Every structure is written in C-alpha cells, then in structure tokens.
Structure 1
C-alpha cells in the first residue's frame, strides 16, 4: 500500500468521482471562443458530415457528437499524465499560468516513409493523443498514491483533497510550497524507473528526452511532514518516520486514528485553512468510533489530541480526553513491563515506542497538572514498571539497547555500576519530583521540613546530572529537547515550591491567568531565601529562551513555564526601585518575545502574551503615579532617580514595539 495513498485516503477517489460527474463532453456551439489548434491537430468532423443525409442534418450531428480525440498533448500534461484538450495554450496550462509546448508524437514511428502526403492538414498515424497511464497498473512512480484509470475515466482535476475522510471538500492547489518536501520514503528513489509516456505502453526505460514533473505534495502529505519536522522531537513517542511509513505501506488498519491526529498536529504549523478543523474532528471521530480497537495506537492518537487541544486554548476539552486516555491506558496494561514485548510484533523500535507512549503520557499528565493546577496528576499514583526509554538517536536509527528501569535509576549511586541513562529518563525523573511536590501538603510558613525535602529532590536532580546532560545539547551540539524539558520542569517546580513563601507581592500580576489561577502572595520588607530561589529559577527559565534553536522547536508546555517566570519578573519590577533594573528589563523582553513567537502556532501563548503586556502597562502606570509625588524620591540620589525613570520608560517602549502586531484573541 502506498504511503501517500494512505495519507490522502479516499479523497483522490472522491475527487475523480466528482470530476466525472461534473465534466461532460464539450459541445461546439455558435459564438463559443476557441483557442488556436496546434499545427499537427485537425478536426475530425468531415467524416461525420459526409455520412449525413443533408446539410442541416449534418450540422445537427456535428453539434451533438462528442468532442473529437485530441491528436497531441502538450509537454506539461504529458509529464503529469493528465488529459490535454489540445488547445494552444491548453486549459490546464492556462489555469496554472504555465508554458504550453507541443511536440510531435512518435508513437508507432517506423522510419521515413516514401511518398509522404504533401497535404499539411492530413492526420498521420503518428499523431496520437496523449498517453494515459498503463492499464496494467504500472503507473508513474513519481505520482505517489496514483492509481491507474481506465481509458474512459476522466482524470482528476488539479485540486488537492484536504481530508481523506471528507471527499466532497477540496481546496485549490494554491497552498504555499512546503519548505520540507520529503524524499521518497524508504530510500526508494534509487529503485524508481520512470515510465516514458512517449513510448508504446509495453516499453519501459528511463526517460531521456524530458524529465518527469516533480510531484507536488498534497495538504495531507505536508501536514504529515510538518508533524515530524516541528513536533515529533518534543514528544517522541510515535514511531519514527521511516517505521511509520513502512507500517502505512503495509496497510496496517489500526493506524487511521493516530495518522489523523498527526495530520491535525502538523496542520497547526502550516497554513491549512479549514482543513485543520476537519482533521481534528476526523481524528476525534476515529478515536471514539466503536470499531476502533483499544490499543497503543489509540493511546498515541488521544495523547496527540490532548497536547494539541491544550496548546490551542481548549484545555477543558483536553482534560476530558486525558481522563479517557488514562483510563484506557490502564485497562490495556500499558503501564506494565510486559506490554511492549507482547504488542511489539517482534520489532524493537515498536517496543520502544510503547514504552515511550506510557512515559510521555505520564509526563504530559504531570505538565497539565503542574501548569494549570486543576488536575491532580493521576498517573503519579499508578504503579508502573515500564522500561525507561533509550536515547533519541538510538530510537531514530533503530539501535535499541536493552531497557533499564526506574529501580536502576534510583540505585545508580549505591550499586557501584556506572550505567548511563537517557535524557528521556532524566525528564521522567524531573516530572516525578514535580509529582512528589504536588503530593506534599501546602506550606504556610518558612522552615517547613516538607519544603526542605522537596528542595533536596530538586537539588539532587541537578547536581547529579552527568556533564553531558547539563547544557541541553547532545554530543553533536544539537538541542537535547528531553533535557531541555527536564530543566524547565525543575525550574518551574522550584518557583511553585518557593514563591508562596517569598517576599514578592503577586497582586500586580493577578491578571495573568492564561495558564493557572492567580495565587495571592503577601509582600515582605526584605528578601528571604525563598525569594532568592524564586527569582533565580525565573531567571534560568528566561535564559533558556536564548538557546540557539527555533523557539517553536520546543513543546508548547514551555509557554506556561515562560508565563510563570513572567509573573515573577513582573512582581519584582513592581517594586519601587531595583539596582538591577536593566537586567530585569532584558528578562521581561525575552519572555514577551518568546511568547510572541510561540503564538504563531499556539493560541495559548497569544493569550498569555496579551495578559503579560496588560500587567506591564498597569505596573508602569502605577509607578508613574508614585513618581509624581516628591516624597517618593526621598533617600534617592539624582543618578538613581534618572536611572529608574529611564529603565521604566525603556521597557515600556520595547514592550509596545514587540507586541504592536500581537493582540490577545
């Protein structure tokens, strides 16, 4: 089964059916404008006129008979194996604004003939219509997903189906070109032999005269590619691209739901138009239809939808799917060690995918609970003995080692064994610390021993990291997204642990509620150790934005972590005067810039960005009102007063400039 046929589903078949019903044989009527015919093309109406009984009857027959077969096709239509109307230019080239060129066909040519007719209007045997794909089924391999059509079938129009499950809806092929046109899957490019449309149907050899037209990916294909290009590294539990393509070509039926969910996620990163909503609806329908088996692929599809909905400001709907996903995962024993081996089909990569599916569900459940503070991290209390995932390069290349387990991770300092653990394993450990914090009673006073216990867990996670795991880059100096997430989970947990006991009044940032409800925190006269922990963690989160990678390469959960750090920065900026005003200004600028960029894909970031801007404006106006009172400046030198005024004015100008084109929806 061809992978792109699977991606497009029944859309191409429906497109052919719709075209057949809407395209009728053209009738020549008086006053109808026509194009100039190509030099080797003649009308075949003379014979029909000779067989009629009179001139009137001849004219009537001429009007009613179907259009004559086209003696030649232009190069563009030949290269695409499409029907050409023989006009100059033809209607297809005219519609696509392409150059329309005709060359004489050499079908049936047997060398020069003697006594060649001098009549230029005489139709020769070598003037043949355009060549259709072979009826034997050997269609052009450039047209991935192409199926041969009969001689009487009308070819599909140049329209791209937007959904395999909504065949009646099509979009014009005017989408911007994908910046990541994929290579043919499975390295098949070296094995392809292109069929020459200028040869007889029984002959086949590489095309020597004119190269075939490059396949233009459909919207479904581009969404599939966008999923792997932008999203997969942040939540790498779905099979790697090559493995997924191989299963799709084999015709695995229970992939429909997860592929539909992948298309929905990919559509968030490109201009998909109304197809985005259709992909979402279709993915949800497939997940909940009675015939869909409850297996690991269903868990993967639901998890993708949960992540996408949460980042698209549909948190309530995401929580509903999360409850179903967790229930089904436990029902099918995804949390057990034996699940991967029992359902891996003897494929080590698939076994690794099942392990990653459980642990990514675990991490996402914790992230949603931590940043939104509405759910309670249900999976933290579920007993699981699933093997830990391997490194990302091992997963992508299929070099899967023997898995290790959380017991091995916890005992590594005492067992005496120097065993390296993957970045994914450290990400899981960071989320487990957040779960322990969420199970700790709320601290109402400094010095609480529960706070000290959680801080010990967070500090141990950081100080026992191997050297190569400390800087969010792998051995090839590329972003290690799993360690990146592990670090920001730890920083976010630090803020949530220490902020309630800090001396930073949170009331100035009470309007920032895009991720979680406001938590009132009383102000104090001086900094304490909890304040320092909170400010340091917020600073570290802002510095993570400076990583030399596209901000959209991170998981969308980074949005709420940036928002959490912004609340700390704004609370600190609300103080009347700070010696480090300039450094704070740069941190706020970093956070707003990151939220602005992330909002290009995720609506939740757009909402957070607008709220942070509104709070900054409110703090600025409040400080200005205080600065009008001369008593405010008692004890300040003139240099400190000028520095404070300039810093406040500068940060507001930058915020206004960066958010001029980004307004909350």
Structure 2
C-alpha cells in the first residue's frame, strides 16, 4: 500500500475523514467512504459536527496559543542545558556555529510535518515510565542490536532525566517497533504517536533524524513504501543541512558526552547503510547519500558502545588504507559493514538504467574486485560470524551476506517475477568466457550465504533487510536448479532452497517482509 503524498495549500476541505487527517493527505469527503479509504480498504470515519463549539477564528487562535506555548517550552529546555558544549563548531556555509546554535539555524528550510490533530495522543516519556516501558524493552531486546545507532538503553534512561535532548520522538518510534515484535501487527495509534512527537520537534533538531530513520524502517517493511521514502528523505535532508556527515558534527552535538558523540557517528553511518539497503531492495537509483563525502569517524565495537568506554575512533581514511598497514589492524564490525555497503554502493553507482553487454562486463569485473578485496583484507578475528560464546556477530553477518549477494547472470527464470527483489536481466549478455567465470562466482556466493544461514543459532533473527539479500541468492539457486544442476548436486540445491525459504519465513513472521 502506498501513501498519497500531500501538498500544502492555503485552504482545506471543511470535511475530512479521520484516516486522511492522521495521514495528512487530501480527502474527497465522499460518504460513506472517501476515495482514499475505498482504494486502500481502510475504515472510514468522520468526526461529529462541532456546531455550538468554537468558531473557526477561535480555533485558529487556540492553535496559535498552543504553538507559542510549545515553542516557549522548547526554548526553555534549551536554556536549561547543563552539559558542556564542545568548543568545536560545525561549518555551515560561510560561518561556524556551535551546538546550541544548531537548534535555530534551519527552521525555515527543512521539511516539517503538518501539525497533528489536537486529540492525537502525544505522551511524554518520563524517567520512571521509560524504565517500566515494555515496548521500549522489546525494542532493545529484539531490534537494537540489528541497527545499533540509538543510545544504549541505560544511557537513554539517564538522558531522559535531563533536558539536553527531547528523545520523545525516538522513544515513540522505538515503541512502535517494540509493538511489532511483540504482536507481529502494525499499530495505527503508535504510528500516529510517532508523527505527533516528530511534529513537536523543531525542524533542525537532530533527534528527528534518528526518529524518522526508525519510523521509516518500520513503514518500509510493512509495505508503506511511499511513506517510508518520505520519512527517509526528510531524515537525510535534516542530516545534510546539519552536516551530520562531517566529523565536527558529532563533537558539537555530543555536548561533551562520549556516548552521544559515538551515537551521532552511528546515526550518520546507519542512515547511509539503510539508504543503500532501500536502493538495493527496490532496485532503484534513488540513493541520496551515495555521492556524499563523509568525514565522520567510524563507529567502535558495540560492546564498547554499550559499556560507555568509547575508544579513540578510527577514520574512513584509516579503513581505506588498511592494506598498507604493517600490522593487522582490526576495525569494528560496524566499520566492516560500512565497507561492505560502500562496495555495494560502487555497483549501484556504476549501474545504468538500461544495462548493455559492455556495462554488464564492467560492473561484474568491478564488483568482483571490490568484494574480493573486502574479503581478502578481513582480519582473522573478523572472519568467523559465530562468536566464541555461541552468538552471532550481527553486523558481520549482514556484511558477509551483503558481500555474497550474487550479481546473477544465470538464465532468468519466469518464477523470479513473483519476487519484488528480482531484477530483469540485461538485454545483452556478457561474453561467454566471462559468464562461465562469473557463474562459478555466483554459485560460490550462494553457497557462502547458505553457510551463514545454516549457522547453529536459532531462532533465525536478523534485520528484515536480509530478506532481499537471501532472496537474490535463492533466485540464483533456483535458476541453477532449472538450467544447470543435475543428480546429487540438484538434490542438495533443493534442500538449500528449502533452508532459505524457512529463514525468509522466520523473518517474515516478525515484519510484513516481502
């Protein structure tokens, strides 16, 4: 289901159903069901007449007072910041600003949600309620380690006692995802709460990047693709305006707190990874962060992040020159996932909208070189995905799975059309000798994926973005079963397909993954 994108106008219909109001889209006000609710099979309800209540002018004045009150509270909160602000400034155009200035700079230029109706629930999360919040705990138990960029749970509880940041929108997004894992269902009320909380933030508040990113992931895997893109685009726009991709941003917005400095680094890099994941999953060229040149430092290991013992960060330049190190320097799992994503981004960058034989050959050779280099430079400590304690290094799992996604030139199987992850083959195929070499590479990649999926850790619990990575391997294996494999090799491949389908079902039972 896709959301109709709304546009700002000076007037509005005097009547709109509750569904269209909460989604902030135009309603044709037809009864008993408006056109949008009829098209998307939604329950269509209208509020009762407000005759006898406040007139339009009084309602406008009331909303103005509430908005002024909210702005006053936000300004007061900023005035109460007690943590030291970094002396380093973020360069914005021709002038430098400090962390306190960042809250005011871009209000006029950044995207902002339409104010949520007054009757929409917008809870505030106090220190006590956060400790006892089962949905937040569910988020940290089930999802945080899959995309670890939000503050560690204990630190978030501590931060909720101060007025440094308004984390309510982020917590609202956490509660929605926690609800999904607890009930395996979407919640319209929690979704509205997220939008309500985001609408109360100033457009230049960096917390909305985190909140929108989480909300976008939830929307994306519940097939609200248009809404997910809207949230992702807004998150990227805010991040770019604040120059979150630059080293100075984390130092400035961390306000002297090493954990928050690391948190902002992680936020930028996760934004990049998820942006790439959307492009790869949808097979589109819409990859807004692709050509950004980041100077943000690389994240540390998750264990250090959770403990608060943040080491001196390594840089992207360090990572890109690791082959020249005299000693075997080990980077964090997050850093290797970033490296794997950049390899995949290189393929996306090279891919034309309509591939020819020459394009296919260049892409295949470049991709193989980049992926092989990533694997060959991987230190011994990072090669096993299964850790000594029997748990999986989730970020290395994602990185290995991404590196082994097959760029298939096997014959296209008509059955592949049932999957949204499938791609149409190029009109011209590469030279036969290159096909033979790459077909061998494909089958090795598929087997490497199978080995990852067969690790003795159950239940199969990973980010929903693994579904398309696994699906592409499954489709390549399906094609091999149809056109290449025979006898015992065919029987083994069929068992492998059953394994991958079982893994996909396990992820799909948590999210409405395609």
Matches within 5 A, 1:42-441: 221-250=133-162, 254-271=166-183, 276-289=187-200, 291-416=201-326, 418-441=328-351
Q: Which moved more, 1:548-557 or 1:379-388?
A: 548-557
RCO comparison, higher one (Cα < 8 Å, 6+):
2
TM-score (norm 1): 0.54
Determine whether 1:478 maps to 2:388: no
Residues 311/551 of structure 1: CA separation in 2 closer, same or farther (3 Å cut): farther
**Alpha-carbon contact 1:394-1:400 (below 8 Å) kept:** yes
Q: 1:525 to 1:374 in 2, by over 3 A?
A: closer
Equivalent in the alignment of 2:417: 511
Q: Note if contact 1:491-1:540 (Cα within 8 Å) is conserved in structure 2.
A: yes
- Select which of 344, 355, 361 maps to 1:448: 361
- SS of structure 1 residue aligned to 2:167: helix
- Determine the C-alpha separation between the residues in 2 that align with 1:219 and 1:355: 26
Partners of 1:507 and 1:521 within 8 A in 2: no
1:220, distance to aligned residue in structure 2 (A): 8.2
Q: Deviations over 1:314-367 (max 9, x none)?
A: 222211211111111010111110111111121111100000000000111111
Whole-angstrom distance in 2 between the partners of 1:378 and 1:168: 31
> 1:569 aligned to 2:482?
no
1:549 alignment partner in structure 2: 457
Aligned counterparts of 2:277 and 2:243: Cα–Cα separation in 1: 22
Aligned residues: 387
**Compared CA separation, residues 278 and 517, structure 1 to 2 (3 A):** farther
| Conserved 8 A contact 2:290-2:345 | yes
Change (3 A) 1:167 1:309: closer
Query: Contact 1:430–1:489 at 8 Å: present in 2 too?
Result: yes
* CA deviation vs aligned residue, 1:556-577 (integer Å, no higher than 9, x gap): 1001111111211221222386
Q: Aligned residue for 1:208? A: none
CA RMSD of aligned residues (A): 2.9
- Structure 1 distance, partners of 2:390, 2:484, is 42
Give the structure 2 partner of residue 34 of structure 1.
none
Partner of 1:589: 498
User: In structure 1, which of residues 475, 487, 491 is the aligned counterpart of residue 400 of structure 2?
Assistant: 487
Paired with 1:168 and 1:350, the residues of 2 have a C-alpha distance of 25
| Structure 1 contact 545–551 (Cα < 8 Å) conserved | no
Instruction: Determine the C-alpha separation between the residues in 2 that align with 1:450 and 1:576.
Output: 24
Superposition map of 1:625-644 within 5 A:
none
Q: 2:122–2:196: 8 Å Cα contact kept in structure 1?
A: no
| Cα drift, residue 449 of structure 1 | 4.6
Larger radius of gyration: 1
Q: Does the CA-based 8 Å contact 1:508-1:571 persist in structure 2?
A: no
Paired with 1:379 and 1:577, the residues of 2 have a C-alpha distance of 40
- Tell me by how many angstroms 1:444 deviates: 3.4
The secondary structure found in structure 1 opposite 2:403 is helix
Q: Matched residues in 2 for 1:551 and 1:368: separation?
A: 25
Deviations 1:403-457 (A, max 9, x none): 1101011122224354321111110011111111111255633893553233111
Q: TM-score if structure 2 supplies the norm length?
A: 0.70
Structure 1 unaligned spans of 5+: 1-164, 170-184, 187-216, 608-665
